[in-house]
Structure 1
Amino acid sequence: MRGSVKKSALILGVLLLSIAAAGQVFPGRDSQADVPVVTERVLVPGGQSVGVRMDVRGVLVVGLEEIENETGEKINPGLVSGLQIGDTILSINGTKVSSADEVQTLVNEIRDTVKLKVKRNGQKMTVTVKPVLSKKDGLYKLGIWVKDKTAGIGTLTYYDPANNTFGALGHGIVDVETNSILPVESGQLLQSQVQEVKEGRDGSPGEIRGIFYHTSDPLGNLQKNCRFGVFGKASKAISNPVYSDPIPVGTQDQVEKGKAYILSTLGNNEIHKYEVQIERIKRQKEPDDKSMIIRVTDPELIEESGGIVQGMSGSPIIQNGRIVGAVTHVFVNDAKRGYGIFIQWMLEESADLK
């Protein structure tokens, strides 16, 4: 963006499609006019604070390190072999791996050169690595730090009663070390309880801190993590106390500058409706997570959080009785302002869920 504020931050709180016009065409025709009967697509707005717990597909390389061998020589076998931070290890000598423990176990069973099937920037390749016997603990090592799980706090954007799907966050979950989207192997959408709201200030984004609860009774199962949010199938119907009935979807052409609302859950653990202003709209032919700029004007929200904080990502944006988007980023240098994504881009991503 070319304004005075250039920095923005993803607002997933840390704990550790284009749709078919404005509606859907349902089977059957009007008996008099013999034309398709069209009903607007409707969604149950979110606003609930949710926990996202995700197992990563494969094992993500998040760091490389030197290993001191028995003679005192320091070697980084992963780096020498061409491994890179951001690579995902899919298998070792043909055996699939899905956790850091599996990698360590296999390498120490083989104790010799291993062939890793690796995915890098969407391409699969084979990397051959000779492990080093560590002087420190007597284990064979590849000289890599890996990750297989992640978790965080965010906000539910919508529940679709027509197909039992949900969308949340408005942006993908990325690995902080590599800045790459984490591929979902499995995961759950959980209820969360807000414990504390750290107020956002210019230059220092605030944060919602919470805990997961009812982990044995998840809201749904994750199927997809992509640039525009996390998506999956709900375990049961999800309701919203602010909107007792589903509301229509708004296309980007129906979004206008001016007053709108966001739904979020803060310190009292209840969904509240807060007033915002849509200040700028970017009409988009291709999906993007920065579709509009919003500014918080609600005195209650400003007093409680300072504006937009980490953990509010996914908060649905509602204008003229339609769900038109979701909050995605906060401006680091202006906590009252942030980006939103058009809801149509999120719905496009959930269209292939089964």
Structure 2
Amino acid sequence: MIYQSFYVMGECTVKQEWGIFMNKACSKGNRRLHAISLTRKERFKYRACLVLLLVLNIGIIGAWFWKKMDERVPGHIYLFQNQDAQIDFGVPLEGNCKEAEDVIAITNGKPIQGSRQYFGLDRPVRVRASALGSYQAELKLFGIFHYKYIQFDVIEKAKVMPSGRAVGLYIQSDGIMVLGTSEIQGEDGFSYEPAKDILQPGDTIRKVEGTKVGDIDQVVELLQKKKGNRVMLEIARGGNVIQVKLDKVMTKEGEYKIGVWLREDTEGIGTLSFVTEKNQFAALGHGITDIDTGKLVRLSEGSVYPAKIEDIQKGEAGSPGELIGSVSLGESNCIGAIKSNTPLGITGEITGNGYQYQEGQALPVGLKQEVEEGKAWIMCQIADKVEKYEVEVEEINVNSKDNKGIVLRVTDKRLLKKSGGIVQGMSGAPILQNGKVVGAVTHVFVNDPTGGYGTFMENML
């Protein structure tokens, strides 16, 4: 029998032998030490608990390490043709690329074996691609365990003209957006809600009884013309197009209604990020969403107009500020056409003089592996002209799958005094670092307007 003993403290001497405790008299009286024995089953449980705790700790540490490594190593990297790119992730990964003739590790690489080029990511590696195209490399943890594949897309070198100018944006949606449903009173005095559980906020009405609709007045007109009490609608919902039927209700005013709140267009002020050599533009760094539903507006057509900043509502903790201005609409004032509205920004073509590409103002594009923590600049218009303001890049997440890969903080005293930091309307302000355009501002921290997020430049190209 094996014993584990809990010793009683006192002025006594204890002699221990294998499996047996001999008791001696203490100077202040006799005390007996009690031994607790563990059966084989109890010992097994005790050891199992220790092993379980050890495995749990290893699992937690491993998950944390994996998460941190995943944040540092993207699954996709852009490279410019015939230009050296340094990759420095500092993780214990080894990679091999099949296309060794075209993607060559200039430093840190191992000799080419067959058609494969081997390299390590635990130290800086310099990559140069001589041919356009896509290449894939396998990454292994410690050079043994498969981690994931990383794709290299080799593209032509790019230069853009950073803008920072405030512009008015007008979007005509592809159909009529549903904001919500409501009760209506029929001619009989009873309340009805015919669209309840049939239409949802964010739905887009594309057709009424087979006729394509572009504005709310057209929807109302078709409801009056349709004979009978039921109407067929074609709606877009979550990427799907479906047909629904619902009842019309005749009101006391002698008009048919279906009990829905609708919106046909969206407009606002944002910042023009850049213009390419072909006068293609990108702005905002995030998509235009409906203010009530939060859904991305389906674009039918859109226009860009000059904007005049008249005032600034200063941002405070818990209350983001905003640029307050006016926009001159009308065909004669249009300076561009919006072609797409995506989660990563809006794009289109600039046609207005004074907004088009100028080679003398152009800068090279910086890819996400070139962004560094430290000093950078943003360009934005908060008065009559565009100015550069100093910011600090605090954090970089190269594996970000949204438009929040850069965390930045405003350090320029001029901007802090004028606006309190980042305000609504600055979305799209280009971020400059080391003489390159590396990204654009996308969000402000609600509880701290001096900080916010930015997206990588390559997401907007």
Same fold by TM-score greater than 0.5 = yes
Identity over aligned residues, as a percent?
38
Aligned residues of 1:86 and 1:120 also touching (Cα < 8 A)? yes
Q: Report the Cα distance in structure 1 between the residues aligned to 2:358 and 2:340, rounded to whole angstroms.
A: 27
- Deviation, 1:345, is 0.7
Q: Is structure 2 residue 195 aligned with structure 1 residue 78?
A: yes
Q: Is structure 2 residue 449 aligned with structure 1 residue 332?
A: no
1:251-299 Cα shifts (integer Å, max 9, x gaps): 00000100000000012x1000000000000012x64111110000000
Counting only pairs closer than 5 Å after superposition, residues 316-331 of structure 1 correspond to structure 2 as 316-331=430-445
Q: Report the Cα distance in structure 2 between the residues aligned to 1:224 and 1:213, rounded to whole angstroms.
A: 22
Which residue of 67, 72, 79 corresponds with 2:184?
67
2:372 corresponds in structure 1 to 256
Counting only pairs closer than 5 Å after superposition, residues 235-246 of structure 1 correspond to structure 2 as 235-236=351-352, 239=355, 244-246=360-362
- Deviation, 1:214, is 6.6
CA separation of 1:141/1:222 partners in 2, compared to 1, >3 Å: closer, same or farther? Answer: same
Which residue of 317, 325, 333 corresponds with 1:217?
333
2:294 corresponds in structure 1 to 179
1:90 corresponds in structure 2 to 206
Unaligned runs of 5+ in 1: 1-17, 26-34, 348-354
Residue identity matched to 2:193? N
- Deviation, 1:21, is 1.8
2:80 corresponds in structure 1 to 22
Unaligned runs of 5+ in 2: 1-75, 84-129, 133-154
Counting only pairs closer than 5 Å after superposition, residues 199-348 of structure 1 correspond to structure 2 as 199-213=314-328, 215=330, 216-236=332-352, 239=355, 244-267=360-383, 269-284=384-399, 287-347=401-461
SS at match of 1:77: coil
2:280 corresponds in structure 1 to 165
Q: Report the Cα distance in structure 2 between the residues aligned to 1:187 and 1:53, rounded to whole angstroms.
A: 5
Which residue of 85, 94, 119 corresponds with 2:236?
119
1:197 corresponds in structure 2 to 312
Q: Report the Cα distance in structure 2 between the residues aligned to 1:249 and 1:190, rounded to whole angstroms.
A: 26
1:299-328 Cα shifts (integer Å, max 9, x gaps): 000000000000000000000011010000
Aligned residues of 2:319 and 2:447 also touching (Cα < 8 A)? yes
Aligned residues of 2:350 and 2:356 also touching (Cα < 8 A)? no
- Deviation, 1:127, is 0.4
Aligned residues of 2:178 and 2:200 also touching (Cα < 8 A)? yes
- Deviation, 1:206, is 0.5
1:4-56 Cα shifts (integer Å, max 9, x gaps): xxxxxxxxxxxxxx78523699xxxxxxxxx7699621000010001001111
CA separation of 1:240/1:317 partners in 2, compared to 1, >3 Å: closer, same or farther? Answer: farther
1:30 corresponds in structure 2 to none
Q: Report the Cα distance in structure 1 between the residues aligned to 2:424 and 2:196, rounded to whole angstroms.
A: 34
- Deviation, 1:217, is 3.0
1:203-240 Cα shifts (integer Å, max 9, x gaps): 11001011113742322101111111111111146558
Counting only pairs closer than 5 Å after superposition, residues 4-153 of structure 1 correspond to structure 2 as 20-22=78-80, 40-79=157-196, 82-112=198-228, 113-135=230-252, 137-153=253-269
Which has the higher mean CA deviation after the structures are superposed, 213-222 or 323-332?
213-222
Q: Report the Cα distance in structure 2 between the residues aligned to 1:241 and 1:299, rounded to whole angstroms.
A: 31
1:5 corresponds in structure 2 to none
Q: Report the Cα distance in structure 2 between the residues aligned to 1:65 and 1:140, rounded to whole angstroms.
A: 14
Q: Report the Cα distance in structure 1 between the residues aligned to 2:321 and 2:289, rounded to whole angstroms.
A: 19
Aligned residues of 1:22 and 1:249 also touching (Cα < 8 A)? no
Q: Report the Cα distance in structure 1 between the residues aligned to 2:210 and 2:254, rounded to whole angstroms.
A: 25
Residue identity matched to 1:22? F
Residue identity matched to 1:191? P
Residue identity matched to 1:303? K
Aligned residues of 1:62 and 1:145 also touching (Cα < 8 A)? yes
Q: Report the Cα distance in structure 2 between the residues aligned to 1:96 and 1:46, rounded to whole angstroms.
A: 38
Aligned residues of 1:242 and 1:272 also touching (Cα < 8 A)? no
CA separation of 1:241/1:98 partners in 2, compared to 1, >3 Å: closer, same or farther? Answer: closer
Structure 1 length-normalised TM: 0.85
CA separation of 1:164/1:23 partners in 2, compared to 1, >3 Å: closer, same or farther? Answer: farther
Q: Report the Cα distance in structure 1 between the residues aligned to 2:212 and 2:360, rounded to whole angstroms.
A: 46
Q: Report the Cα distance in structure 2 between the residues aligned to 1:238 and 1:159, rounded to whole angstroms.
A: 11
Q: Report the Cα distance in structure 2 between the residues aligned to 1:281 and 1:219, rounded to whole angstroms.
A: 34
Give the aligned length. Answer: 316
Q: Which has the larger radius of gyration?
A: 2
Aligned residues of 2:171 and 2:265 also touching (Cα < 8 A)? yes
2:152 corresponds in structure 1 to none
Q: Report the Cα distance in structure 2 between the residues aligned to 1:275 and 1:152, rounded to whole angstroms.
A: 26
Q: Report the Cα distance in structure 2 between the residues aligned to 1:39 and 1:71, rounded to whole angstroms.
A: 69
Q: Report the Cα distance in structure 2 between the residues aligned to 1:220 and 1:53, rounded to whole angstroms.
A: 11
Higher RCO (CA < 8 A, seq sep 6+): 1
Q: Report the Cα distance in structure 1 between the residues aligned to 2:164 and 2:427, rounded to whole angstroms.
A: 10
Residue identity matched to 1:21? L
